[in-house]
Each structure stands twice: as structure tokens, then as C-alpha cells.
Amino acid sequence: MAGKPPLRVLLCAPRGFCAGVVRAIDAVERALVLYGPPVYVRHEIVHNKYVVEGLKAKGAVFVEELGEVPAGTRAPVIFSAHGVPKSVPEDAASRNFFAIDATCPLVTKVHREATVHYKKGHEVVLIGHAGHPEVIGTMGQLPPGAVSLVETAEQARHFTPRDPENLAYTTQTTLSIDDTAEIVAILKERFPAMVAPHKEDICYATTNRQEAVKKVARQVDAMIVVGAPNSSNSQRLREAAEREGCPNAALVQRAGDIDWSVFGAIASLAVTAGASAPEILVEEIIDAFAERFDVEVETVHTVEEDVFFPLPRQLRPDAA
């Protein structure tokens, strides 16, 4: 259509759903098929309003605490992908709930690491963001006071362990690769004996999406990260774009949230999506730009992903 200014759109790949998010959403949908509504879900199954509202429409009921689930219910109660403290499954068992754990296996790996370190007598340092459900879940694997949370490089410089020769660290799975590397470097310099994870805790999807953003950040006038404000990995994508020199990076949930005073006069745009953002929202945002611009979309691939996690045991076909 004549009159539209041209816009080159670089679409980051990989982007969007990771294997842990796919597994968690599939777990809720599978439970709804097998057992019918309602299916109770503790906390947002993943941090995306569109996904949560879609599951609500199918019969999922989201609660923050198990006390909100009706006593004596036989409906499944699902724990979110972010993981939960040990006290939550114990509480579910005491209430005789049919509990299904949809914790991402990569988060479960961090839980196990923290537990092993603790059993070996290490003081456990967790690098992560206070108040995030994943951090609450990891810290909740161990007794109060057993885990020390370090959020920033500044905190790492001033952290005082009980025994500097007996430290181990784990990290939240959705952190900034660069920020975490800086924090780890500071801790290792101060405490050379500190034990590292056997394998990097920051998950493959977080790493891959940040690397894709870094590749395109300097090639465009602006970047949109499709994701929710409470999504840690989505916020880290926005920060990565800014750090790499993108003049304007914004976290946007839906097309209706685009600030056209900022994005209305650009010649190039990169688009990516956090690990809990569905592809339909990416398409919605590109469509919104296509109404205002003559859009040419180019996909920028950095790595192929083929990770798959099977459903929780109770929801697999052989469980019946």
C-alpha cells in the first residue's frame, strides 16, 4: 500500500517458548482433558497474562496459596514451572490434594544442587532476584538461613560468609549471563575455594535468547521484547539489548501497549520474545507495525533448539 514508510524487521531466533514452559502449559491442558475442570494451579503457571487468561477460559483456577483450594477437592493441583519450596508439596500432602509438579526440570536441577551442597556442609550462595518465585522455591529447599542470596556485584563485594573455605553457589535459571558472570568472578576472586555448579545453572533458553538479542541490538533503531513485566528472562532480554547499544528497547505485552510516539518513526526494528511469551503475540505485534509501515521481515538465526521435557509422570499416557 502506497504511502507507508519502509521498516526492516529483524526477528530473533530462537525466541519465545522454552521446553520448560511448553511442558508446564501442556501439563495444565492435559490435566483439563484427563480430569475435566476445575484444575487448580498454584501461582501463574508461566509469567504471561495471555497464557494464563487462555487457561482460565478452559477451566484452570489460579491461586497464590493452597489454602485457597477447596478442602477435600479431588481436582488436580499443579505447581508452576518456577518451582516451589519443599513446604508446598508437604502442605498439599497434608491436605490430601492430588498434586502435580510442573517445575521446569532445569529448576529442579538447581534445587538438587543446592540440597547436595548443603548435605556436604557447604554454605550455599544463590545468585538471583529476591522475591522471584524461582528464588523463593530454591531457598525453600533448605532450612531458613542455609542459603545466602546475592543479587548484585556490589553485594558480592561485601558478602561475608560464615566460612570462606566452605562455600558453594547456584544461580537462578533466568538471569543475565553478563551480570551473573561478573558476580561469580567477584565471588571467586574473594573466595577461591567456592564450589561451582557441575553445569551452568542459567538455562539454555535464557542463554540462547540473550545471545540472539546481542547479535542484532546494534543493527536496529529499536527493539521490542514481547513478554510480561514480572518475567525475569524477558526483563533480562531488554537489558541485554540496551547494554549492547540498542537506542531504544521496550518490554511489551501486547500490540496495544506499543508507544507509537517512540516506535512510530523508525527504519529498523528487532523483535524477540521471552521464554513464556507465545508466538501469536509476536505475530500480533508485527501485524501492528505492518498497519503503519511497509514491513520486510528477516529472521536472524543464532542456534537451533531441540530440547524436550516429558510431561509430569501423572499426566503421561502410560500413567492411566
The whole-angstrom separation of Cα 314 and Cα 308 is 17
Tabulate helix, strand, coil % of the chain (nearest 5): 40, 20, 40
How many Å apart are CA 199 and CA 197, to the nearest integer? 5
Percent pLDDT > 70 in the chain is: 99
Q: If DSSP codes are grouped into helix, strand and coil, which group holds residue 136?
A: helix
Query: 223-251 pLDDT, tens per residue?
Result: 999 999 999 999 999 999 999 999 999 99
What's the pLDDT tens digit per position in 33-71? 999 999 999 999 999 999 999 999 999 999 999 999 999
pLDDT, residue 4, reads 93
pLDDT at 164 over 70: yes
Return the bridge partners of 168, or none. 124, 195
Residue 180 cell numbers, joined: 551473573
Is the peptide bond preceding residue 38 cis, with omega within 30 degrees of 0? yes
- Burial class of residue 154 in the structure, from the number of CB atoms within 10 Å of its CB (0-12 exposed, 13-18 middle, 19+ buried): exposed
pLDDT for residue 52: 95
For residue 250, list its beta bridge partners. 224
126, pLDDT greater than 90: yes
Mean pLDDT (whole number) for 191-203 = 92
Distance CA 155, CA 55 (A): 39
Residue with cell 573466595: 191
**Nearest by Cα to 125 from 144, 104, 146, 105:** 146
Q: How much is the average pLDDT of 304-311?
A: 96
> pLDDT at residue 173 above 50?
yes
pLDDT at residue 320 is higher than 60: no
- Report the distance separating Cα 258 and Cα 223, nearest Å: 11
Average pLDDT value over all residues in the chain: 96
The C-alpha cell 507465545 sits at 278
**Residue 1: per-residue pLDDT:** 47
Q: Which residues are catalytic?
A: 134
Helix residue ranges per DSSP H, the chain: 19-35, 49-58, 87-94, 105-119, 133-139, 153-158, 177-190, 204-216, 232-243, 260-263, 279-292
Q: Which residues 6+ apart lie within 8 Å of 99 measured at CB?
A: 76, 77, 78, 79, 89, 92, 93
Q: How many CB atoms lie within 10 A of CB 25?
A: 22
Side-chain-side CA neighbours of residue 24 (13 Å): 30
pLDDT higher than threshold 50 for residue 209: yes
What does the pLDDT average to over 204-225? 97
Residue 84: how many other CB atoms lie within 10 Å? 27
What's the average model confidence in pLDDT over 14-28?
Answer: 97
Using CA atoms, how far apart are residues 211 and 203, in angstroms rounded to an integer? 13
Give the pLDDT score at 268.
98
Query: Which triple of cell numbers denotes residue 310?
Result: 516429558
Residue that the C-alpha cell 539454555 belongs to: 204
CA nearest neighbour of 213 among 229, 224, 200:
224
How much is the average pLDDT of 132-150?
A: 97
Report whether 18 contacts 205 (CB < 8 A).
yes
Region 170-182: mean pLDDT is: 95
Structural domains of the chain in order of their starting residue, each with its CATH number: 6-17+204-301 (3.40.1010.20), 20-104 (3.40.50.11270), 106-190 (3.40.1010.20)
The answer to whether 276 and 15 are in contact (CB under 8 A) is: no
Q: Look at residue 262 in the predicted model and tell me its pLDDT.
A: 93
Q: What spatial distance separates the first Cα and last Cα of the chain, rounded to whole Å?
A: 56
pLDDT of residue 2: 59
Instruction: Give the whole-number percent of the chain exceeding pLDDT 90.
Output: 96
Q: Are 39 and 2 in contact (CB under 8 A)?
A: no
